[in-house]
Amino acid sequence: MNDQNLARFNEFLKAQECEAALLSNPANITWLTGYAPPIQTGPSPFEGGPALGWYCDGTLTLIMNDWESAGAGTSGAEVHPYSGYSLEGPLVGVQKQLVALEEVLLQHTGLKGKVGVEMDFLPAAHYEALLNCLKSAKLEHMEGRIAQLRTVKTETEIARIKSALRLSDVAQEEIQKHIRPGASEIELWGAVKMRVEMEAGERIPVLADLVAGPRTAEVGGLPGNYVVKAGDPVMLDFVARLGGYFGDNSAGYFAGEPDPELLRATKVVRQALERGREAIRPGIKAGDLDAMLRGHIENAGYEPYPHHSGHGLGTSYHEDPRIIPDYPMKLEKDMVIALEPGIYLPGVGGVRFEDAFLVTQDGCEVLTTHLKH
């Protein structure tokens, strides 16, 4: 259990005058407990959905599939499991999770005050269970509000993000060994993914853009069968999760002598990223940081990129503060953000460079190393 985050959450509930809460967002459960559910294969047919978290009287109870519950045993939370995989009849995980939720809620039928509920990941049938079991309570919708508590990181969280970022740096280090005319995107991906998992000593969930040639002008995409040609740009944006926390970086490379316009674009993007680094400090608005990055790209004569300029990192790979136009949130000490300006030239190619930063008392610390070589 992350005691600092739990204390912050408890203070939040007190401020909202909530006696209890039901959490459904997996990122928030990881933030509180450190438990990170397996996500390599997507939703499991043997479970009723992501684990739910019931918080009451200072205790967090995880309602989850029995095959998953063993991994949550060291989280410090109580676990109320339900049977998922079975040799009997069809798979009815949602109904089983519902029954388990009701078993927990029926221990708290006396609640008469507010109960916070995250609705964004909660099945409708589960909401009905809340209404039926907690007839005297007033349900308070709080989706999206807990995410705001996650923006400022603890020392433990910063250490975990740094470990995840190390894997992203390893990915960038590895791809450079294999870029050559004749290599396919999927071949490059295989080499990168194998190196990262060998480095970590475990399977690593990854979100990634790995594209080459004209595909780099399309902002990104999954690796495919495109074969790298001489002079082609190659883009890798690598988002790895380790210990429940995400790292993220991006870089562009060339298979030989590149198009001169892409060389110029590379210089402009790197300059924009450096300007962003120099501007990071507590108090700056996310929207102002976005405007600075976009302005540098546009002042150099390029079209503005069609995506965010950056985002927060934590138990989700994209969270507040969002570095987007006019976003009013101000940076605070111990936030972790990534900045990723880019230039995309249709028919030619694109480049995007991304670093991650820890906001410090009077500036920032660069957490990624792949662009220093």
Over residues 267-318, the pLDDT tens digits come to 999 999 999 999 999 999 999 999 999 999 999 999 999 999 999 999 999 9
Instruction: Give the confidence band of 1 by pLDDT, cuts at 50, 70, 90.
Output: confident
CATH 3.40.350.10 residue ranges for the chain: 3-150
The DSSP bridge partners found for residue 227 are 184
Q: Would you say residue 75 has pLDDT above 80?
A: no
Domain covering 155-366 assigned CATH 3.90.230.10 in the classification: yes
CATH 3.90.230.10 residue ranges for the chain: 155-366
Over residues 159-191, the pLDDT tens digits come to 999 999 999 999 999 999 999 999 999 999 999
Q: Hey, CA dihedral for 363, 368, 370, 373, is it positive or negative? A: positive
* CATH of range 3-150; options 3.90.1170.20, 3.40.350.10, 3.40.50.2300, 3.40.430.10: 3.40.350.10
